A = this chain, B = another copy of it.
Amino acid sequence: MITKFTFNSQYILSELPSAERELLKKVMDDKKYRKNQPIFTEGTLPSGIFYLQSGKVKKYKMDNDGREQIIYIYNAGEFFGYSSVLSENTYGDTTIAIENSVISFITTKDFNEILKDSSSFSRLLLKSLSHEFSVLANLMAVLSQRTVRERIALNLLILHDKYKVDGVSNTYIMLSRSDLANMAGTVIETLARVLHDFKHDQLISTDGRKIQLLNIERLIKIANFY
């Protein structure tokens, strides 16, 4: 269910034949990004693609009136920025690190060279991109047709999945209210009110900014998805 709303480019690296994987790893250039540091900006020409080693990155679009819509939040192990390189266009959105992150960079040249010689790589990219397309279609339908309450419940479930850590039983969503509102396509005040209700109904608990989901079953019901 949640896979309808999460990218899965993680498998690209693992399913790539080891020769190509090594090639790719060799041309990766790692760089540390601090929280709130931009990675690339909408409208600029792509210089390469990115691979998130650790941390979290948000991809968003800003409109004329300064309203921000978060398109996606990337988690460790995901590639990003590659669709602009492939479509030979300027970046269609802006990405910034929302946690301290380590990000590998692969230049357009290196990327294209590996791609040219590797049908497995292009096949995996096609597969990944196709899935990402369907994720956006799903998000589109949700944003336009669901109530704020439903959208917030759904986004909490999506985030729970992203903030889950292997071997750790409790999951804490650590994201600003403003980012959460911009994911759900609402404003901070409305978000605060809905979270208040969810807390009152014991669906979630909060500790400062941290959110923990207490009743996933019921949140799924509220999100109105099966």
Q: How many copies of the chain does the oligomer comprise? A: 2
Return A16 CB to nearest CB of chain B, in Å: 15
Chain B residues with CB under 8 Å of A83's CB are 129-130, 133-134
Distance A141 CA – B226 CA, assembled complex (angstroms): 25
Contact B127 A86 (CB under 8 A): yes
Distance A125 CA – B130 CA, assembled complex (angstroms): 10
Chain B residues with CB under 8 Å of A116's CB are 119
Return A118 CB to nearest CB of chain B, in Å: 10
A162 proximal to B (CB < 8 A): no
Return A115 CB to nearest CB of chain B, in Å: 8
Chain B residues with CB under 8 Å of A145's CB are 63, 65, 67, 69, 185
Which A residues form the contact surface with B (CB < 8 A)? 4, 61, 63-65, 67, 69, 71, 82-84, 86-89, 92-93, 116, 119, 122-123, 125-134, 136-141, 143-146, 185, 224-226
Sample of 13 more A-B contacts, CB < 8 Å, known A87-B131, A133-B133 = A61-B138, A61-B141, A69-B144, A82-B130, A83-B134, A86-B126, A87-B128, A87-B130, A119-B122, A125-B126, A126-B129, A140-B140, A143-B144
